[in-house]
Amino acid sequence: MKKSLIALAFGTLALGMSEFVMMGILPDIARSLGVTIPRAGHLISAYALGVCFGAPLTVLVARTRPLKQILMVLTALIAVGNLCASLAPGYWALLAMRFVSGLPHGAFFGVGSIVAERVADAGKRTEAVSIMIVGMTVANLFGVPLGTYISNALTWRATFGIVAVWGVVALLLVRLWVPRMEPLPDTGLKGQFRFLRSLAPWLVLASVMLGNGGIFCWYSYVSPLMVHTSGFTADDLTLIIMLAGFGMFAGNIVGGHFSDRFTPERVVLFTLAVAVLSLLGVFFGAHLRYLSVALMVICTGCLFCVSLPQQLLILENSHGGEMLGAALVQVAFNLGNALGAYCGGLPVAHGLGYEYTALPGAGFVLLGLLASVIYNRKYPRHAVR
């Protein structure tokens, strides 16, 4: 395995911890800062909005800069944002630092996908991108449960501090292992956005936003759901979050394997259909402890099973603006996260049980599935090889 791909995976691992650790430590932060859990859920939305601003901003400012230089700045921002989050004196300061922490996320995936493709061996483009993404799934398998444990044992501030340290490690590895690469051909500012004149990328992005946002309606509140609805204790959360991470890890592997064997479109369609059924299962079966855990693993597996095929689909449909296209997938992903965290919190804020977070989620995923169906029918050349 090439060292440059390992460096990229370390970067996505830091991003994965920064983004997903909130699901495990949300109750601790709410209790520490004296806010409700739905209001603490806005910290998830703040990170997601940072992604939405940071990705296009990086393309506008740095599209003519060397790719390695861009990656180094982004990894430095990961470290700084999470360090400041660990030192935030109150809710509003933490909200602002979560926004800052999200700024490098989409841009790192956008630039990293291009770097991974450039360093990949012939015929191993999918494998190279999947190695980069696997860092995020490893974060959910080990890093997020560790962060949840540390938050419960010590303080949530220590968790953000660890993410900051990992950001520094990622910066050093990018500096040492990623080769210098020339900037992408400058197609001009208009050229970067030209691919958006077609309906195809919009359908892919809609599928990403609605599909992932629907899962986040429920997953944003998975910790209180497991405690208050499924009957687990707070001490069980570390293992539960680790199982959720295992679902993501397995989903990434399955998505990459079947995208090569079949097509990315078919993988997306099947996975989103499974996600709809699983979320409906959560609504009706969350009070059954082990069924709730099993459905959680399936849902988190779906979350990452579609990540790689969707990333490949947007690269296929963003010629001349690949950096922006790859970054916009993360924008759509995190815009969906923000929408999901907000909409998932509405039933809880109105006094309903945490299982009700899965209902709007199933509706969103169904709309994402519809966008994928339209894409498949309108652009069948991608579905036949």
Q: Using CA atoms, how far apart are residues 4 and 178, in angstroms rounded to an integer?
A: 5
Q: Angle CA(105)–CA(136)–CA(253) in degrees, nearest 5? A: 135
Contact status, residue 183 vs residue 64, Cβ threshold 8 Å: yes
One-character DSSP codes across 27-47: HHHHHHHT--HHHHTHHHHHH
What is the H or E stretch that residue 211 is in?
helix 199-219
Q: Say how many CA atoms lie within 13 Å of 51 toward its Cβ.
A: 29
pLDDT tens, 71-113? 999 999 999 999 999 999 999 999 999 999 999 988 888 888 8
> How far, in Å, CA of 132 to CA of 13, rounded?
9
In the chain, where the domains are located: 3-382
Give the pLDDT band of residue 355 (cuts 50, 70, 90). very high
Which residue type, as a one-letter code, is found at position 270? F
Among 1.20.1250.20, 3.30.950.10, 1.10.10.10, 2.102.10.10, name the CATH number for the domain at 3-382. 1.20.1250.20
DSSP 382: G
Residues 261-297: tens digit of each pLDDT:
778 888 999 999 999 999 999 999 999 989 999 999 9
Burial category of 285 from C-beta neighbours within 10 Å (exposed 0-12, middle 13-18, buried 19 and up): middle
List the single range of 162-171, 199-208, 254-263, 343-352 with lowest mean pLDDT: 254-263
Both structure tokens of 168: 């520094």
HEC states along 127-169?
HHHHHHHHHHHHHHHHHHHHHHHHHHHCCHHHHHHHHHHHHHH
Q: Is the pLDDT of residue 385 over 50?
A: no
Which pLDDT band holds residue 356 (cuts at 50, 70, 90)? very high
The CA distance from 219 to 299, in Å, is 9
pLDDT band at 384 (very low <50, low <70, confident <90, very high): very low
CB 198, CB 317: distance < 8 Å: yes
Using alpha carbons only, give the angle 105, 107, 109 rounded to the nearest 5 degrees.
Answer: 75
Quick one: pLDDT band at residue 226, thresholds 50, 70, 90?
A: very high
Q: How far apart are CA 20 and CA 73, in angstroms?
A: 22
Contact partners, residue 262, CB within 8 Å, separation at least 6: none
Alpha helices (H) along 221-288? 222-224, 237-261, 264-285
Read off the pLDDT band of 309 (50, 70, 90).
confident
How far from chain centre, in Å, is Cα 238?
20
State residue 206 phi and psi, 5-degree precision: -65, -40
Q: Please tell me the total number of residues recorded for the chain in this structure.
A: 385
**Cα separation, 371 vs 373, whole angstroms:** 5
Task: State how far Cα 78 lies from the chain centre.
Answer: 15
Give the predicted TM-score (pTM) of the model: 0.79
The residue behind tokens 């921002």 is: 77
pLDDT in tens, 311-348: 888 888 888 777 788 778 878 887 887 788 889 889 98
3-state secondary structure (DSSP) of residue 201: helix
Q: Mean pLDDT over all residues of the chain?
A: 86
> What letter does residue 379 receive in the DSSP assignment?
-
Kindly write down the DSSP assignment for every residue of 62-127, as one continuous string.
Answer: HTTS-HHHHHHHHHHHHHHHHHHHHT--SHHHHHHHHHHHHHHHHHHHHHHHHHHHHHSPTT-HHH
